Amino acid sequence: MKMLKDKHVVITGGGSGIGASISEILAKSGAKTTIMGRNYKRLQEKTENLPNGFAVSVDITDHKKVKIAFQNAVQQHGVIDILVNNAGNAISVPFEKLNTKEWNDMITLNLTGVFHCTKACLPAMKKQKWGRIINIASTAGLKGYAYVTAYSAAKHGVIGLTRSLALETANTGITVNAICPGYTETGLTENAIENISLKTGITKSEAREELLKSNPQKRFIQPEEIANTVLWLCKIDAESITGQAISISGGEVMS
């Protein structure tokens, strides 16, 4: 029997990159998947390859829209058993040039969005005495990086939320964990490479090599590695793993 048979999983930012890999692996394990994001066309295309896949367009920065989106998910697949807070984005700008709107946008998307989605799922998880909340954070939540102050602050906040909520839910059958990837082979990293090349004048190949220097294994993390860690945390026998910030970074961050 597939380990996630009949479990309903919601994955935000599920239409591409890390989120798409997570949705594929959890669906193959038997889960009923609801993928959420802003680009409904992309989400629909993704669900064509997902057994029991369902697409919902939502802006996670708007708590009213989140509430409606999660109600739609429940109507389609039933109570949400597993939440993967994956949606997010980053901008690169020196702190002195960072304006208030950019700061607020980063905090609202990367941290407040996690708050909104978790609030939408938690009561039902507590009622059924089982649940998994998995927050895709970043190594930027475990250490500092230059020029991404707002993003790093938000991801540090996600880890704080994870650890605190894990304690609040420790006796409820719910686990709450964060996964902290290093530079991953996704569009977000490609954008970073493009920005470095434009701002410094070095080639994209040289910019790629600069990013690879942060990883002792000298490679980018693959989305499937993160997805398989999510799957592991979803298992019934992972019930003692909670409040953790798991670094997937080739040894870049050690605790």
Residues 43 and 166 in one domain: yes
Q: Any idea which residue has 């901008």 for tokens? A: 91
Sign of CA dihedral 112, 113, 118, 119: positive
Q: What are phi and psi of 38, to 5 degrees?
A: -90, -30
**Does the residue 114 lie in any domain?**
yes
pLDDT in tens, the chain (255 residues): 589 999 999 999 999 999 999 999 999 999 999 999 999 999 999 999 899 999 999 999 999 999 999 999 999 999 999 999 999 999 888 999 999 999 999 999 999 999 999 999 999 999 999 999 999 999 999 999 988 999 999 999 999 999 999 999 999 999 999 999 998 988 888 888 887 888 778 888 888 888 888 899 999 999 999 999 999 999 999 999 999 999 999 999 986
**Does the residue 1 lie in any domain?**
no
Long-range contacts from 96-104, C-beta under 8 angstroms, 24+ separation: 98/149, 98/150, 102/150, 103/150
Q: What is the pLDDT of residue 204?
A: 87
Q: What is the pLDDT of residue 4?
A: 95
- E strand intervals along 67-225: 82-85, 131-136, 174-181
Known catalytic residue at 183: no
Q: What is the pLDDT of residue 1?
A: 53
- pTM (2 d.p.): 0.94
Burial of 213 (0-12, 13-18, 19+ CB in 10 A): exposed
Residue type, 141: G
Residues 209 and 94 in one domain: no
Q: For 31, what's the count of Cα atoms within 13 Å in the CB-facing half-sphere? A: 30
Q: What is the pLDDT of residue 186?
A: 85
Q: What is the pLDDT of residue 193?
A: 85
Q: What is the pLDDT of residue 187?
A: 80
Residues 101 and 36 in one domain: yes
Residues 167 and 84 in one domain: yes
- Return the SS3 of 252: coil
Residues 212 and 163 in one domain: no
**Does the residue 255 lie in any domain?**
no
**Does the residue 96 lie in any domain?**
yes
Residues 94 and 212 in one domain: no
Residues 168 and 216 in one domain: no
For residue 215, what are the domain limits? 183-220
Q: What is the CATH number of the domain that holds 231?
A: 3.40.50.720
Residues 115 and 215 in one domain: no
* Catalytic one of 40, 145, 151, 183: 151
**Cβ contacts of residue 120 below 8 Å, gap of 6+?**
66, 67, 70
Residues 165 and 126 in one domain: yes
